[in-house]
Amino acid sequence: MNLNIETRNEVIIIYVKEERLDAHNSGDLKSEMQRLFAEGKKNILVDLHDVRFIDSSGLGALVSGFKNAISHQGNLKLSTLQTQVKSMFELTRLHRVFEIFPSTAEALENF
């Protein structure tokens, strides 16, 4: 899967450069977040600007990352969700779990 990773103000930003985050590719995102937290990184922002479609496996990968963050005393936040993607978080009540920001800049101010 295509992921662009950059660091800004001690926050690792993972830009998911895929139209779909689903059962076919979400395992890669899950592993990447696992690797970063295991390396000692504390703050991860997943930017979903390019993701038009997410399924339960994609949501599951993000939940896994969120739990990983907690177990490493870190943070995992999300930014720039498209409308239909956001509605999936609402359907599964995960909007109550994740901190979701409308832009990358706003997310970065809140770490």
Q: Does 50 bind other proteins (CB under 8 A)?
A: no
Contacts 24+ apart (CB under 8 A), 78-81: 78/45, 78/46, 78/47, 78/48, 78/107, 79/45, 79/46, 79/47, 79/48, 79/49, 79/103, 79/104, 79/106, 79/107, 80/47, 80/48, 80/49, 80/104, 81/48, 81/51
Among 41, 92, 100, 108, binds other proteins (CB under 8 A): 92
Q: Which range binds other proteins by CB under 8 A, 9-17, 43-51, 73-81, 91-99?
A: 91-99
Cβ proximity to other proteins: between 21 and 107 the closer is 21
Contacting residue, 1, 3, 22, 86, with other proteins by CB under 8 A: 22
The correct pick among 4, 56, 103, 110 for binding other proteins (CB under 8 A) is 56
